[in-house]
């Protein structure tokens, strides 16, 4: 028995068509204006809602092991489905850090057992993310690590980063870099600017990011590794990447919804909801980031989903941890504030959130075509809903977007031909959690 999606508005062969999709054995078997049901297939009436390739998030923190009070692989992968994501890459800065083959295997199997969105593990660059000794990179690849990152910390040693790049290049795995020179970021909590001065708190200068980006681009050019820059925040970083791409350096980059839509001047009480690393920066930086996604300098949008407990975020701006959740709000935020406003086309948003992530990380999905894996998301672009953190599937609610009214909410998410989440259904939230 298969599935027929009836009368969806489908992004197919670089154009929008209102058509039916026949899905059998997890793949798309037929695309035609009207398909007759002759074999008892499940019928899904799309009603001319958007049917797009499932979203892919290449940067999420699922907190397990060690931070299960904030998120688990089960809860995070389920939240991903609600946000329209069919694949999530899990960052390794857990407790213990995912720095060994056994722990890569643990994450991979946990994701499979959860049975929600596909969860793929990223291995740490250094043992314990301490920046002192390289982890068993080869062993982690053998168990399924898709990339390496010490996300949450910048690799301070240039020599260590160069050795990492050389080994990763030999294995054909990318380095996902959190670029932060800790001698410059120090104990800063928000962007070094007018708001930090107003609140009388230490700031994080943009140089803390872009000087390490500059260093790593030179090393990437020398080693030939696929070098990927995480959560860009600085306009100067964007320009460095633009110039490196023009020279032929194998570099890609991501930006988050919060860095595209907010600046440091948007901070309001409770300020800790806006405490993110790298921080929300100036309006000029924000403009440069948007220009980066328009001209292709920035390849993808990633959520940097970073859940924390209410108690942690209530510690105040100085003591609260960095981070905000994002899996369940990313697409409607960007659709409402970039697509509906005419800044970015819908087609470019799909490319940024699905097609390009699949391409640059060699993942399944990212496209609707015959014989492709049926990872699909149905979007209602006309429904207006309010961001209500109490309704999140995530175990955490720390977001700067509470109360925002948005269009473009997912109504159904399918992974490998199986409907995993549907709006208004229970979705088996109690199983294995």
> What are the structure tokens assigned to 417, written together?
């031909």
Going along 46-143, which residue ranges are E strands?
Answer: 50-53, 55-60, 85-90, 118-121
Return phi, psi of residue 253, to 5°.
-155, 155
Among candidate residues 99, 304, 375, 380, the one labeled active-site is 304
Q: Residue 164 pLDDT more than 60?
A: yes
pLDDT reported for residue 162: 98
What single DSSP character describes residue 148? B
Name the band, by pLDDT with cuts 50, 70 and 90, for residue 433. very low
- Gap between the Cα atoms of 334 and 298, Å rounded: 15
Lowest mean pLDDT among 30-39, 67-76, 315-324, 423-432: 423-432
Give me the domains of the chain, ranges plus CATH numbers: 54-360 (3.20.20.140)
Give the list of residues 6+ apart from residue 159 with CB closer than 8 angstroms, or none. Answer: none
The answer for 367, left when phi > 0, alpha when psi is -120 to 50, beta otherwise, is beta
* Peptide bond connecting 270 to the previous residue in cis, omega within 30 degrees of 0: yes
Give Cα separations from 260 to 61, 191, 263, 306, 355 (angstroms): 20, 15, 8, 17, 19
Classify burial at 422, counting beta carbons within 10 Å of its beta carbon; exposed 0-12, middle 13-18, buried 19 or more.
middle
Q: Which residues pair with 20 in a beta bridge?
A: 32
Q: Let me know if 304 is a catalytic residue.
A: yes
Q: What is the mean pLDDT of residues 291-307?
A: 98
The answer for 45, left when phi > 0, alpha when psi is -120 to 50, beta otherwise, is beta
Give Cα separations from 303 to 56, 383, 425 (angstroms): 10, 22, 25
pLDDT reported for residue 429: 53
What is the distance between the terminal CA atoms of the chain, rounded to a whole angstrom?
A: 29
Q: What percent of the chain has pLDDT over 90?
A: 95
| Continuous segment of H or E residues that includes residue 74 | helix 73-82
- Gap between the Cα atoms of 123 and 140, Å rounded: 7
Cβ atoms 204, 190 nearer than 8 A: yes
Name the band, by pLDDT with cuts 50, 70 and 90, for residue 372. very high
Q: What percent of the chain has pLDDT over 70?
A: 98
pLDDT reported for residue 427: 58
pLDDT reported for residue 49: 97
Q: Residue 426 pLDDT more than 70?
A: no
Q: Residue 167 pLDDT more than 80?
A: yes
Biggest CA-to-CA distance, the chain: 69
What angle in degrees, to the nearest 10, is found between the helix axes of 73-82 and 101-114? 50
Going along 230-280, which residue ranges are E strands?
Answer: 251-255
Nearest to 400 by CA among 324, 334, 335: 324
Q: What is the mean pLDDT of residues 289-298?
A: 98
CB atoms under 10 Å from CB of 375, counted, come to 30
Q: What is the mean pLDDT of residues 197-212?
A: 98
> What are the structure tokens assigned to 298, written together?
């920035």
Which pairs from 425-432 meet CB under 8 Å and 24+ separation?
Answer: 427/78, 427/81, 429/78, 429/393, 431/115, 432/74, 432/113, 432/114, 432/115
Q: Tens of pLDDT along 236-246?
A: 999 999 999 99
pLDDT reported for residue 431: 41
- Gap between the Cα atoms of 339 and 333, Å rounded: 9
Q: What is the mean pLDDT of residues 237-259?
A: 98
pLDDT reported for residue 430: 44
- Gap between the Cα atoms of 213 and 98, Å rounded: 24
Q: What is the mean pLDDT of residues 188-210?
A: 98
Q: Residue 422 pLDDT more than 80?
A: yes
What single DSSP character describes residue 324? B
Buried residues in 44-54 as b, exposed as e (16+ CB within 10 A): bebeebbbbbb
State the virtual CA torsion across 237, 242, 246, 247 in degrees, nearest 10: 0
Q: Tens of pLDDT along 191-200?
A: 999 999 999 9
- Gap between the Cα atoms of 254 and 304, Å rounded: 10
> What are the structure tokens assigned to 321, written together?
């941890």
Give the torsion sign (CA, 106, 108, 113, 116): positive
């Amino acid at each position: 028995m298969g599935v027929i999606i009836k009368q969806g508005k489908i992004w197919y062969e670089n154009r929008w068509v209102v058509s039916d999709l026949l899905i059998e054995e997890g793949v798309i078997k037929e695309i035609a204006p009207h398909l007759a049901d002759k074999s008892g297939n499940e019928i899904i009436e799309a009603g001319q809602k958007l049917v797009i390739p499932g979203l892919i998030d290449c940067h999420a923190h699922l907190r397990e092991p060690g931070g299960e009070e904030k998120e688990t692989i089960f809860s995070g992968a389920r939240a991903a489905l609600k946000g329209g994501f069919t694949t999530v890459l899990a960052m390794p800065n857990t407790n213990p850090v995912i720095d060994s083959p056994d722990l890569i295997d643990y994450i991979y199997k946990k994701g499979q057992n959860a049975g929600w969105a596909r969860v793929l593990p990223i291995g740490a660059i250094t043992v314990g993310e301490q920046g002192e000794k390289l982890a068993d990179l080869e062993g982690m690849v053998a168990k399924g690590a898709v990339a390496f990152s010490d996300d949450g910390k910048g690799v301070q040693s240039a020599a260590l980063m160069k050795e990492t790049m050389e080994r990763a290049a030999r294995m054909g795995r990318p380095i996902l870099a959190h670029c932060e020179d800790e001698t410059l970021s120090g104990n800063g909590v928000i962007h070094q600017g007018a708001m930090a001065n107003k609140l009388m708190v230490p700031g994080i200068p943009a140089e803390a990011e872009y000087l390490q980006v500059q260093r790593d681009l030179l090393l990437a050019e020398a080693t030939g590794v696929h070098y990927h820059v995480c959560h860009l925040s600085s306009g100067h970083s964007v320009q460095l990447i633009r110039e490196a791409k023009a020279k032929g350096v194998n570099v890609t980059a991501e930006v988050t919804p919060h860095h595209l839509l907010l600046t440091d001047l948007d901070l309001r009480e409770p300020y800790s909801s806006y405490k993110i690393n790298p921080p929300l920066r100036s309006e000029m930086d924000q403009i440069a980031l948007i220009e980066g996604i328009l001209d292709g300098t920035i390849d993808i949008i990633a959520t940097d989903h970073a859940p924390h407990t209410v108690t942690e975020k209530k510690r105040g701006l100085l003591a609260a941890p960095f981070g905000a959740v994002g899996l369940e709000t990313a697409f409607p935020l960007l659709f409402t504030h970039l697509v509906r406003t005419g800044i970015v086309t819908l087609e470019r948003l799909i490319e940024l959130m699905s097609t390009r992530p699949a391409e640059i990380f060699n993942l399944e999905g990212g496209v609707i075509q015959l014989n492709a894996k049926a990872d699909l998301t149905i979007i209602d672009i006309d429904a207006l809903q309010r961001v209500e953190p109490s309704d999140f599937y995530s175990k955490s609610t720390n977001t700067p977007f509470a109360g925002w009214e948005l269009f473009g909410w997912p109504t159904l998410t399918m992974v490998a031909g199986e409907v995993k989440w549907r709006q208004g259904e229970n979705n088996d939230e109690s199983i294995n959690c």
